[in-house]
Structure 1
Amino acid sequence: MAVHTKKIGLSLGADLCWPACYEEIIRALKLEIPIGEDALRFHVERISVEPFDLQQPCSYDVVLDRLTHWFHTSREWIKKAVLLDGLYVLNNPWSLQAMEKHTSYVAMMRLGMPIPKTWLVPPKEHAPGADTQTTLRRYAKLFDIAKIGDQLGYPLFMKPYDGGAWVGVTRIDGPEALRDAYEQSGTRVMHLQAAVDPFDLFVRAIGVGPQVYIVRYDPGAPLHDRYKVDFHFVDGDEWSLLQDTCLTINAFFGWEFNSCEALRKDGVFHPIDFANA
């Protein structure tokens, strides 16, 4: 019997807990899976960041990627390995590159999900470019951002259209605060989104393949304490709805794993952030 070792790469950033747990689980299981007359073992390795030849071979069979939605050097290495070497990656890097938060909102609005009312506003500042100022003079319309805030109502949230990890997110309680936040937003294209307020429950539906687990979530708690060990905080119908919501989003975008944040107000769950793949 021949024993073959499959190599699993972990594409990581500042991750601490999950890769250490994953590595230890693989070691503890000591997997040796029979495939016909042969057997498969598994080796886990963390992927380094370094220059690469576009034609160099890839030693990994599968990569679990938690980095390249924001770190582009590794994203381009993964895309090279998929095209040239047949690497399988979870999740699809092209999907993550194309389907950012803005796209995910629009797609799920079309499917009828109760996404909070959302506007996109041009950046306060623009990076220098040969034609930037000419384009802006010809076509950019002046607007009063406070009027958009009035249409959405307060409180609202300003956040990057492609963002994640709560970076650049500001709660806005009035027009002056909105103007101040917009003045400080720099070159980032921003969303203005009506707050789901007041809400009585914040959950994350965490989907891995066909499995979804619903966790009560507290974004204001210290990082280590945001996922709450709690049970029976939703009923059976709500659990099924949240599972279906997460699976629908993942199926639409072709994501093997993802999490969907949702807030409950007056008995309705409003998905607010679900491009977390």
Structure 2
Amino acid sequence: MTERIGLIVGYEDTFPPAFIAKVNETPGFRAEYAKFGGTSERYKSPYAVLVDRLSHQVPYYRFHLKAAMLAGTYVINDPLWWSADDKFFGYSLAAKLGVTVPRTVMLPSQSYIPDIDPSRSLRNLEYPLDWDSIADYVKFPAILKPADGGGWKNVSRVNNMDELLRDYNASGQLVMTLQEFIDFDEYVRCVCIGKKFILPIKYDPRRRCYIEAENFLPKALEQKILDGCWALNNALGYDMNSVEFACKDGVPYAIDFTNPAPDMCVRSILPRYFHQVVDEMARFTIECAREGRKNPTVHAYQRYLENPIPRA
């Protein structure tokens, strides 16, 4: 019997065909662009594994993936967890794990939808904010960015209080975070697959590009980065992720690590790293299909279905 592996993508044009071709080299497994529509409440998934790289932009896909997971498909990444996480929670979790992160403060939205009456709906919100205390904790310069965002959208560097208030007042309904700026001497982006495969790549955030380099990290620093990636991906439950570190004086600061659909385009991550990522992604999905793996978050539902609690 052939195990089917489905891929959900958007405008990507290099990773999808390379991944599909690589999986299809292994007898007994067939990768393809997943197709679905009109999902029923008793949905039976034809896929052993679904690799999700687009449901953050297409809500129907996210809802469908939850149904597929309940039907027994292993979804990369887990749609229940992906729906629940945000970048600020990630910083809080990292701090609990002992992974160093910059000082970060989450800020309430600057404005709200018309149905929100500030005098009644926001009675629990401290107002005005204690901006002096916030700035004293984070320090300037700082980075103002969304608490749940990506792609470098709505990100700005603020060097003083005037710039902070100017950019915050322009942020609209976004929930923003103010984060300590790390004047790094090395920047690393790690592509992570299956929680075990960790590929550190030199990265230039100013030009937003990967740089091919060998042995660019001291061994001790590299080990801290690998340990941090391991801890974060296992705690977050991500099988496909990228984790960024800004390194200063031998300390890796985890900057961004909730990227469940990381850039895997050959033009971005360069041919040398692209082929490693494709090979590992194919190997991992085949392993998941072969083992009949199930997402951990669905176990609570399955346990109840198998052993329902009788009504007293």
TM-score by length of 2: 0.77
Residue 206 of structure 1 pairs with residue 191 of structure 2: yes
What is the one-letter code of the residue matched to 1:121?
A: L
**Aligned residues of 1:204 and 1:216 also touching (Cα < 8 A):** yes
Residue 263 of structure 1 pairs with residue 260 of structure 2: no
Q: Which has the higher helix share?
A: 2
Residue 217 of structure 1 pairs with residue 192 of structure 2: no
Matched residues, number: 259
- Displacement after TM superposition at 1:53 (Å): 2.8
Residue 25 of structure 1 pairs with residue 41 of structure 2: no
> 1 or 2 for the larger relative contact order (CA 8 Å, sep ≥6)?
2
2:228 alignment partner in structure 1:
245
Distance 1:146 1:54 in 2: 52
Which range moves more in the overlay, 105-114 or 16-25? 16-25
Q: Give the unaligned 5+ runs of structure 2.
A: 261-312
Q: Which has the higher strand share?
A: 1
- Displacement after TM superposition at 1:220 (Å): 2.8
Distance 1:130 1:116 in 2: 33
Q: CA RMSD in A?
A: 2.1
- Quote the sequence identity (%): 31
Pick closer, same or farther for the CA change 1:195–1:70 going to 2, 3 Å. farther
What is the one-letter code of the residue matched to 1:112?
A: G
Distance 1:266 1:185 in 2: 33
1:58 alignment partner in structure 2:
45
**Aligned residues of 1:206 and 1:246 also touching (Cα < 8 A):** no
Distance 2:32 2:11 in 1: 16
Distance 1:66 1:13 in 2: 8
What is the one-letter code of the residue matched to 1:218?
A: D
1:37 alignment partner in structure 2:
none
Which range moves more in the overlay, 232-241 or 147-156? 147-156
1:185 alignment partner in structure 2:
171
Distance 1:66 1:132 in 2: 38
What is the one-letter code of the residue matched to 2:97?
A: L
1:163 alignment partner in structure 2:
149
Distance 1:191 1:144 in 2: 15
- Displacement after TM superposition at 1:153 (Å): 1.6
What is the one-letter code of the residue matched to 2:41?
A: L
2:212 alignment partner in structure 1:
229
Q: How does 1:105-184 map to 2 (within 5 A)?
A: 105-129=91-115, 133-137=119-123, 139-143=125-129, 145=131, 148-184=134-170
- Displacement after TM superposition at 1:216 (Å): 0.3
Distance 1:81 1:153 in 2: 46
- Displacement after TM superposition at 1:24 (Å): 2.7
Q: Give the unaligned 5+ runs of structure 1.
A: 33-40
**Aligned residues of 1:91 and 1:256 also touching (Cα < 8 A):** yes
Which range moves more in the overlay, 130-139 or 213-222? 130-139
Distance 1:21 1:157 in 2: 37
Pick closer, same or farther for the CA change 1:49–1:130 going to 2, 3 Å. farther
What is the one-letter code of the residue matched to 1:254?
A: G
Distance 1:132 1:156 in 2: 28
- Displacement after TM superposition at 1:150 (Å): 4.3
* Secondary structure at 1:116 match in 2: coil
1:35 alignment partner in structure 2:
none
Residue 78 of structure 1 pairs with residue 65 of structure 2: yes
- Displacement after TM superposition at 1:275 (Å): 1.0
**Aligned residues of 1:146 and 1:178 also touching (Cα < 8 A):** no
Which residue, out of 28, 33, 40, partners 1:46?
33
Pick closer, same or farther for the CA change 1:103–1:139 going to 2, 3 Å. closer
* Secondary structure at 2:2 match in 1: strand
2:81 alignment partner in structure 1:
95
Distance 1:265 1:48 in 2: 46
Distance 2:53 2:141 in 1: 32
**Aligned residues of 2:221 and 2:250 also touching (Cα < 8 A):** no
- Displacement after TM superposition at 1:195 (Å): 0.5
* Secondary structure at 1:247 match in 2: helix
- Displacement after TM superposition at 1:43 (Å): 1.9
Distance 1:91 1:135 in 2: 35
* Secondary structure at 2:204 match in 1: coil
